[in-house]
Structures are given as structure tokens and as C-alpha cells.
Amino acid sequence: MDAGEWIESFVRGAMCLLGIVGNNWLAVRSIPSKTSQIRTNEMLFINLAISNLITNVLVDLPDTMADFADEWFLGRTYCAIFQFCSDLSATSSIVSTSLITIYWHQKLVGSLSRGTAPVRLDSLRLVAALLAGGWAMAVVFSAPHFYFVSLDTSNSSSDDCVESFPSPVARQTYEAMYLTLANAVPIAGMVFSSIQIVITLLRHQARIVAMNSEAHSGAASAQANGDAPPGNQAQAPNAPSAQEPSKEPSNQAQGTVQPSPKEAPTRPNKASGSPSNQVRAAKSVVAVASVFLVCWLTHMVLRISSNVHESSLVVEVASYIAASYTCIIPYIFLYGVKKLSCSCRR
């Protein structure tokens, strides 16, 4: 291996390590505590992390090892597993990311318009059924890779794990169906939900600016009319005066201690129920959708072009783009839901 190939292998290894750490982190931080029940958001994050870890551990790691060894040394059996897991994890990751985008669009709109009213994807049964359908579709589209693989010997000393369809027509038919049903359709839903999230965020921001301007103009007009500021208004009639002794019986004289209102237990709201946290999480979803679209659209274009004109360089670039997606998005999601910390408390 020359210097360029060593650098390429180290970069691929660093991306693989970053993806393994990030997706394990996302899965662990999404596991609910013993006293709480799993929610839709946590189920989707765990499913996404598992999908990405299949890519990191069963696809990227063996590929990196093969790069350092300068040949495919894991045999034809694992070559079939390698190709199967590649499309399996990619399809499941696309479905998970699409469902996360749709879910947070529903939560954001519901939070800003109807308060904390439940949305359709709050149903765990519905989400489980959708995820099961996504895995089933991933298995169906990945199954041909068990049969259409081979070890390509470019020279007498090294092998390479490649797909080997019976004919170019069969390959193009498979790729067209896979890219349409398992890529284009989920991506279209993600694009639509992301646009709706952006529109909702802009309207929410405009509403906040209008409310702040009204409050500022109201305070300015009150000051111009000589009205007292709200903080200096007269005390309420029921409040005891500073010069008058309180007429209420002393608790100490009766031997009982009346609890102070400050001591009343209050149950804090969950972080996900606050509108501000909904907005923060929705912004992270838009960021992930943007990264996803850049990576996956480029990946689709390169994959289509490789069907028209086969090129090992194009296939290699497409695999790097897919790997970059799996190692970036867990950290964006962790930041968006305020779990990008080493604390294990929830």
C-alpha cells in the first residue's frame, strides 16, 4: 500500500470508530429508565442506532480490515453476508430516519397548535408495525445479495468482494426497483415533512417576534402615560399590611406547623413536553434531514451512474458517503434531545 491508500484506510477506520461510538451512545441514552415506559422517540432512535451499527460493525469494519490487508481475506461466505448487510442496514436506516422526521413534524405542529395532545405516531403499536414493515422490505431487497456475489481476482495475489448479477439487465432492474421503493419513496416523505417543519418553525418565530414587539410597545405606552410598572402595583386586598399585625392565629401557639407553599411537591414536566424542547428537537431533525439528503442523494446518483458505467472509484466514493452519514447523525440527534453528555441520569 502506498501513502495515499494508507491515509484512505485510516480515514475509513476513524469514520468506522466514530460511528460505532456515536450509535452505541445513541442507543444507550435512548433506553428508558426502570420507572418510565419506552416512548416513540426512544424506539425510533434505538432502531436507527441498531441499523447504523450493522453498517459500522458488519460492513465498514470488515471493509476497513480488507483495505489494510489489501485484499478480501474473509472468503465468499462472508462476502455474501457483507453485501446483504450493506443494503439491509441502509434500507432500515432510511426508514427509521423518515419516521423520525414525520414523528417530530407531528409533535412540533401538535405542541404549537394543540398543546401536548397525542399524535398518531405516539402509538407504539403503529410504530412497531411500521418498523417491522421497514425491516421486512429491507430483507426482501437484500436477499439477492446472498446469491449474486463473487470474489473478483483483479490480479494473481488479491481478491475483491463484488456483486455478480446474471446479466446487466437483471442488475439494472434490481437497482431501479430498490432505489425507487426503498430510497426515493421514504426520501420523498422526509423531504415533505422537513419542509413542513421549516414552515412551522418560521411561523412560530414570527409569532414570537410579534408578541415581543406588542409587549414592548405596550410597556412603552404605559411609561408614556405615567402608569406604574407592574412590579410596583398596590398589594392585593387579602395580603396583610406591613403596619398591621396579622390577624391569623399563630401556628406555633397551636403546636402545629403548617407547611409552606414552597414545600409542596411539584412534578417537573418531561423535557420532551416543553414547546421549546420540541422546537430544539425539530431543528435537529431538520439538520439530520439536510445531511441525509446531501449524502443519500449523492449516493443514489453515484449508484445509478455505476449501473450505466461500472467504475470501482464511483462505488468506493458512494460507500464513503454512506459511511459518513452513519457516523454524523447520532451526534446531531443526541444534541437535539439534550442527551449529548456522559451522565447516565435521565
How far from 231 is each of 219, 227, 235, CA to CA, in Å?
Answer: 12, 11, 10
Assigned domain for 79 exists: yes
Q: For 57-180, where are the alpha helices, taking DSSP H only?
A: 61-69, 75-113, 124-142, 168-179
Neighbours of 260 (CB within 10 A): 7
Assigned domain for 205 exists: yes
Assigned domain for 100 exists: yes
Assigned domain for 260 exists: no
What pLDDT sits at residue 268? 41
Assigned domain for 246 exists: no
What pLDDT sits at residue 327? 83
Assigned domain for 129 exists: yes
The DSSP secondary structure of 9-63, one letter per residue, reads HHHHHHHHHHHHHHHHHHHHHHSPPTTS---HHHHHHHHHHHHHHHHIIIIIHHH
What pLDDT sits at residue 310? 62
Write the CATH number for 39.
1.20.1070.10
Sign of the Cα pseudo-torsion (167, 171, 172, 177, in order): positive
Assigned domain for 202 exists: yes
Number of domains in the chain: 1
What pLDDT sits at residue 50? 95
Look up the domain containing 192 and give its range: 3-212+282-336
What pLDDT sits at residue 60? 87
Q: Which residues pair with 161 in a beta bridge?
A: 151
Give the whole-angstrom CA distance, residue 157 versus residue 144: 28
How does pLDDT run along the chain (346 residues), one tens digit per residue?
567 777 877 888 888 899 999 999 999 988 887 767 888 989 999 999 999 999 899 988 888 888 888 788 888 888 889 989 988 998 898 899 889 888 888 887 766 666 666 788 889 999 999 999 999 999 999 998 888 887 776 554 567 788 888 888 888 888 888 888 888 888 888 888 888 888 877 877 787 778 878 787 877 777 777 654 554 444 444 444 444 444 444 444 444 444 444 444 444 444 444 556 666 666 777 777 777 777 777 766 776 666 666 666 666 776 777 777 788 888 888 887 777 665 544 4
Q: In angstroms, how far is CA 340 from the centroid of its own chain?
A: 13
Give the whole-angstrom CA distance, residue 99 versus residue 113: 21
Assigned domain for 189 exists: yes
DSSP letter at 235 equals: P
What pLDDT sits at residue 241? 45
Q: In angstroms, how far is CA 63 from the centroid of its own chain?
A: 25
Neighbours of 206 (CB within 10 A): 10
Length of the chain: 346
What pLDDT sits at residue 261? 45
